[in-house]
Structure 1
Amino acid sequence: MPRPPNPEVRSRLIEKGAEIIHRLGFNGCGVQDITAAAGVPKGSFYNYFESKDAFAAAILDEYWRAIESNYVSILEDDFVSPLKRVERHFSELIEYHERQKFTFGCLIGNLALELAAQSSIARSKLKALLRTWTAALAKCLSAASEAGELPLAREPQDLAATLIEAFEGAVMVAKVEQSGRALRRFGTVALPRLLA
């Protein structure tokens, strides 16, 4: 009788696998690279994940939990005005990428570029995460409109999607250039104009 899966091994696979995929890309590493980084036998990978695509969905879930806890939660801070929350949300994300020296980019954006056309599992997960992020941002933007900080004619859902799209584009360019110029332009040009 096979042993039941160990949740610690699954967590280690996700943690170490996310690191290696973030660094090398999804197609730049194989299951053997992931299991070696996690220090587990290659054959055990499939005890925890049906496929490498299912693994991508699992690491996206874990990545989103960290983003939600550290950055999306800023949008819910009722002690700060809604517009300031939006600005702080993006400034904290920019600082995160600065600390990473623009090397890794955003795992959501990276995997969207790499997997959206080839994996329905990853595409579904990415769409769900982007919808969740957009909804959280739109809720804060709606509160900003109600507080008179944004024109009421602005559609919060569309504005939220546009902000995320502009930010993710800036993250991609920052990764290519290995420089913060694109993120600084987002923060000093795009963000203020979109929120005006």
Structure 2
Amino acid sequence: MPRPANPFVRERLLDAGLALFHARGINAVGIKEVTDTAGVPKGSFYSYYNSKNDFVAGVIDHYWAEVIRDHGVLLTDTSAPPVRRLVAFFKSLTQEHAERGFALGCLLGNLALELTDDNGEARQRLADIMDQWSALIGECLTQARSAGDVTATTDTTELASMIIECWEGAVMRGRVDRSRVPFDRFLTVSLPRLIGHGPGICLRARRESAC
């Protein structure tokens, strides 16, 4: 009878895959490199994942869970006004990129450029997470509109997708330039214009210790 899966081994595999995929992409990393980095035998990989594509989908989930854990709470903190929450969320993500020297980019955006039709499961997982991300931001925008802080007339779910797409572009440019300038431009120019808010939004939030 096979032994049950060990959650600690699974976590080590996911951590190793996340670090390797984020730094080098999925096509440049093989399963043996993942298992060597995780410190587990290569054969044990298949006790947890049916294929590399299955594993990539798991890593995407793992990455998104970390984003929600570390930053997502800022979007749902009802003690702060919704626009301030939105700015705080992207400021928090910017700080994480700064700590990595703006060198890695966003794993979701990076994988979106690599995945093909052959990566069907992983690509679908990525699409699902993008929808979840849009829904989280869309809910924040709906609350902001109700409070009169968002004047853009675009549907909030569509507006949320536009914000994410603009953010991913800023992350990509920041990775190319190894610079926070695109991130700051997103916060002080792009985001305020998209939501129909004044250009001083980020500066005001910083003065209130929320940006």
State if a TM-score over 0.5 links the two structures. Answer: yes
Counterpart position of 1:90: 90
Give the C-alpha shift of residue 145 in structure 1.
Answer: 0.5
Asked if 1:70 is matched to 2:70, the reply is yes
Counterpart position of 1:124: 124
CA offsets 1:7-27 (integer angstroms, 9 cap, x no match): 211111111121111111111
Distance (Å, rounded) in 1 between the aligned partners of 2:8 and 2:153 = 50
Are the equivalent residues in 1 in contact too, given 2:142–2:156 (CA < 8 A)?
A: yes
Counterpart position of 1:20: 20
CA gap of 1:8–1:134, structure 2 versus 1, over 3 A, is same
TM-score by length of 1: 0.95
Between 175-184 and 89-98, report the one with greater CA deviation.
175-184
CA gap of 1:102–1:118, structure 2 versus 1, over 3 A, is farther
Counterpart residue identity of residue 119, structure 1? N
Are the equivalent residues in 2 in contact too, given 1:49–1:55 (CA < 8 A)?
A: yes
Are the equivalent residues in 1 in contact too, given 2:151–2:195 (CA < 8 A)?
A: no
Give the C-alpha shift of residue 40 in structure 1.
Answer: 0.9
Paired residues for 1:41-56 under 5 Å: 41-56=41-56
Distance (Å, rounded) in 2 between the aligned partners of 1:67 and 1:92 = 10
TM-score by length of 2: 0.89
Counterpart residue identity of residue 101, structure 1? G
Distance (Å, rounded) in 2 between the aligned partners of 1:19 and 1:107 = 10
Give the C-alpha shift of residue 194 in structure 1.
Answer: 1.0
Asked if 1:104 is matched to 2:104, the reply is yes
**Structure 2 residues not aligned, in runs of 5+:** 197-211
Distance (Å, rounded) in 1 between the aligned partners of 2:168 and 2:117 = 18
Asked if 1:113 is matched to 2:113, the reply is yes
Distance (Å, rounded) in 1 between the aligned partners of 2:154 and 2:14 = 40
Counterpart position of 1:187: 187
Q: SS of the counterpart of 1:168?
A: helix
Counterpart residue identity of residue 76, structure 2? E
Please provide the CA RMSD for this pair: 1.3
Counterpart position of 1:5: 5
Give the C-alpha shift of residue 154 in structure 1.
Answer: 3.1
Are the equivalent residues in 1 in contact too, given 2:71–2:93 (CA < 8 A)?
A: yes
Q: How many residue pairs are counted as aligned between the two chains?
A: 196
Counterpart residue identity of residue 16, structure 1? A
Give the C-alpha shift of residue 153 in structure 1.
Answer: 2.6
Distance (Å, rounded) in 2 between the aligned partners of 1:20 and 1:27 = 11
Give the C-alpha shift of residue 152 in structure 1.
Answer: 6.6
Q: SS of the counterpart of 1:29?
A: coil
Asked if 1:151 is matched to 2:158, the reply is no
Distance (Å, rounded) in 2 between the aligned partners of 1:45 and 1:76 = 36
Q: SS of the counterpart of 1:71?
A: helix
Counterpart residue identity of residue 190, structure 2? A
Are the equivalent residues in 2 in contact too, given 1:26–1:111 (CA < 8 A)?
A: yes
Are the equivalent residues in 2 in contact too, given 1:116–1:122 (CA < 8 A)?
A: no
